[in-house]
Structures are given as structure tokens and as C-alpha cells.
Amino acid sequence: MRQSSRWWNCPSRGVPQPSRSCCPLTTRLSGFANYYVRALLRLGIRDVTAGFKIWRSSALEAIDVASVRSNGYSFQVEMNYRTVRRGLKIVELPIHFAERREGESKMNVRVQLESALVPFLLRGRAR
């Protein structure tokens, strides 16, 4: 890995050569969510809701992680947004993404509404 205090690594479903073993509906919904956020916020990354990340402590300090108020998927979006706005570099790496075998999705109506609203709020704050 390149030594720098200005970036983080993000294993991603959206970069070339990832592999998937999940249902087509999940893949389509995830793809639409990523398209929606990328179109609104122009982050320059493919998988805006990826949750497995490797952060440098200096990057977390730079984006003031303690002040992030979003939850769930929108938390990931807000973290990416703050990272890009502060000029930090994001590196996405291909991963294998498998459908869950146990448990249930946390994607309830409240999470869906927050995920749809937060990109607009972030965009509005930037103006």
C-alpha cells in the first residue's frame, strides 16, 4: 500500500472484476442506489454504500467523524462525501459480494427514507 495520510481503501462491488453470488433484485437495487447518489453528489467512486473500509486515523480526524449524524447506508454516503469534499483520496478494491445466509436486512422504511433524503441534504449544505 502507498504511504499517505490523505486516503483510505474501500473494498468495492462497483469496480472492475468484483464477483457476486447474490440475487438479481438485490444487485439492481444496490446499483440504483449507487447511481442515484453518484448523480447527486458526484463523488467519483462507484460503490458509495460499501461498509467495509480501512481508514487512516488522520483521515477520520480530517472529516470530523464525531460530528457525522447519519445512520445506516446514509452514514456511508456522508463519510464518502466528507472525504471527497476535503480532498482526500479514496481507493476502491474489487471484492466478492455474497448474499447473506443468516439474519435479516436492516433496510426498513426509515432507513430507506433517510438514504433517499441525506444526499439532497449534503448537496444543499455544500451550496
Give the tens place of pLDDT for each residue, 72-106.
Answer: 788 999 999 999 999 999 988 877 767 667 777 66
Q: How far apart are CA 54 and CA 108, in angstroms?
A: 27
Q: Cell 476535503 appears where? A: 86
User: How do residues 99-113 score in pLDDT, each as one tens digit?
Assistant: 667 777 667 778 878
Domain of residue 51: give its range: 7-125
Cβ 18 vs Cβ 46: under 8 Å: no
Q: How many CB atoms lie within 10 A of CB 33?
A: 20
Number of domains in the chain: 1
- Model pTM? 0.72
Do the domain assignments include residue 34?
yes
Strands 89-94 and 7-12: parallel
Do the domain assignments include residue 1?
no
In angstroms, the Cα distances linking 96 to 14, 50, 83 are 11, 12, 24
The separation between CA 10 and the C-alpha centre of its own chain, rounded to angstroms, equals: 9
Q: What confidence tier does 1 reach under pLDDT thresholds 50, 70, 90?
A: very low
